[in-house]
Chains A and B, each alone.
Chain A
Amino acid sequence: MLLLQQSAQAHLVTTGLGPVYDGIGHFSLSPDDSIPVVALALLAGLRGKAAGRGLIFQLPVAWFVGGVAGLVANRAPIDPLRCVSFMAIGLLISADAPLPDLAVMAIAVAMGFLHGFLDGSGFAATGLGKGMLELLGIAIIIFVLATIFSALVVSMRQYWLRIVVRVAGSWIAAIGMLMLGWALRSAH
């Protein structure tokens, strides 16, 4: 999966299968989108079924709404926010923080809106109608990914499997920290 991933691309991947699949393709090839979704699913999975159920509906919706807002506004927010989101979720996973379900939902909605906004801003050039279909494709793939990964973590009963998830969280946090350094270095 890592080798297949491409860097963030403001322009869309053209699959030839229509805008919905273009959105799915864009998301699948953008680790800066897919990693936070997987991370949120891990976080929700660690917190249990209720958090997982909430995530799989609220995250795609927040992402879509954020995307539409981005399409309309056509202005990307400061990129380091993306790095900070990596760090925050990664640290929460690695600490296995005992967050209430409501907090997990709030984080998911905020993250979904932020990343959706970034995507929507990138799609603005394609037009509102096509862009919304592309965002719909992204929301669908987010629903699928979030469901699979949160269910996977919820089903983990052994102690060491939860540790594996926490280690993954620490890696995500480390990636976010390095990304932030890169962003600041590039800004200079």
Chain B
Amino acid sequence: MKTPRWITVLWTIGTILILAQSTQAHIVAGESGGFLSGLKHPWSGWDHICAMVAVGLWGAQLGMPAIWVLPVTFPVIMACGGFLGLIDAPFPGGTHGDEIGIAASAILLGLMVLLKASPPLPLAMILVGFFGLCHGYAHGHELPPGQSGLLYSIGFVVATGTLHALGITIGLVNNEWKGNVWVPLVAALLLAFMIGIGFSDALGVSGLNYWSHAAVGFVLASVALSFVVLKAQQGKGLVRVLGGAISLGGFIFLYQAFSEAPEKPATAPSAAAFISVAPQLSFGINTI
């Protein structure tokens, strides 16, 4: 079933609006901090971002009904994992079991996108659900004390859904907007804005650690690779290239999980937005 173009427009605008970050001149305190903390938490690690975007990408690739069934499966099972993490239930594989599962999720889900795999829907749901459990457990284990549980949960689930929406948006844009210059131009402006925030972030507002630098560098390299592939394929296969980049990025997370690094990659939502708009920018340059 072909998706109407206006739905794609609304979806894209909605995603961009939800992605907008508030200014952070002060620390948000009190009850609203629960919602904002929850909203930011899924953005707190590249491993989470990559896997969740990959779920959306894969859903968009598979089409109906996977385009909505997979992004529904993930948060529900993730919440089950979050529940287990919150009550400190033991997780298979010891203390790093969930981290290894998260890294594996980026690798395998990225591979699914790269290979454009089309397993039966229940199998895809099981795969996505299992990884959702790993992500949820890690989140549940890391939740900060003293926040409003309800507001935190709302923010957390909304942010997760937004990350899926990112992946779906890329897929829809990829399907519907080939040859149209406006979307890539808007995306380019957004990209410039986000890069600006990213630089200020790197200059010390919140600080980027080694892993984030590596991840950002890797994404830049992936985008450069996308240009080459796009030139060769006239815009075809972009989503698959992105899936490959996510899958390869998963190996960084896997290495990190095994190396027992003390810190996770720092928050870099601007770089995540970079991932989302880079394909459109590539299309724009390719089209123009």
Contact = CB atoms under 8 A, between A and B. Distances in A.
Interface of A: 2-3, 5-8, 31-32, 35, 91, 94, 160, 163, 166-167, 170-171, 173-186, 188
A56 to B, nearest CB: 25
A163 B68 contact: yes
Given A2-B154, A163-B68, A179 B149 contact: yes
A160 B158 contact: no
Contact of B79 (A6, A173, A185): A173
28 contacts: A3-B35, A5-B151, A7-B31, A7-B34, A7-B148, A31-B150, A31-B154, A94-B72, A160-B7, A167-B68, A167-B71, A167-B72, A170-B75, A170-B76, A175-B79, A175-B150, A177-B76, A177-B80, A177-B82, A178-B79, A178-B149, A179-B150, A179-B153, A181-B82, A181-B85, A183-B149, A185-B86, A188-B87
B125 to A, nearest CB: 12
B130 interface: no
Contacts of B72: 94, 166-167, 170
Nearest to A90: B76
Contacts of A8: 150
Contacts of B75: 170-171, 174
Interface string B82-97: 1111111000000000
Given A94-B72, A166-B72, A184 B157 contact: no
B35 A2 contact: yes
A132 B32 CA distance: 29
B152 A182 contact: yes
B201 to A, nearest CB: 23
Among B71, B149, B155, B157: residue with most chain A CB under 10 A: B149
Contacts of A160: 7
B161 interface: yes
A181 to B, nearest CB: 3
B76 A178 contact: no
A178 B156 contact: yes
B154 A175 contact: yes
A80 to B, nearest CB: 11
Nearest to B73: A170
A5 B30 CA distance: 12
A183 B82 CA distance: 13
B157 A186 contact: no
B150 A167 contact: no
Given A35-B154, A160-B7, 12 more contacts: A32-B150, A167-B161, A170-B75, A171-B157, A171-B158, A178-B79, A178-B140, A178-B152, A182-B150, A184-B86, A185-B86, A185-B87
Contacts of A5: 35, 151, 154
B82 A7 contact: no
Given A6-B31, A170-B75, A178 B151 contact: no
A126 B81 CA distance: 40
A160 B6 CA distance: 13
Nearest to A82: B150
Given A2-B155, A163-B68, A94 B76 contact: yes
A173 B75 CA distance: 9
Given A177-B82, A184-B86, A7 B151 contact: yes
A173 B76 contact: yes
Nearest to A173: B76
A186 to B, nearest CB: 7
Contact of A7 (B68, B150, B157): B150
Given A7-B148, A31-B150, A171-B75, A178 B83 contact: yes
Contacts of A94: 72, 76
A142 B154 CA distance: 21
A170 B77 CA distance: 10
B78 interface: yes
A138 to B, nearest CB: 18
A181 B140 contact: yes
Contacts of B35: 2-3, 5
Contacts of B79: 173-178
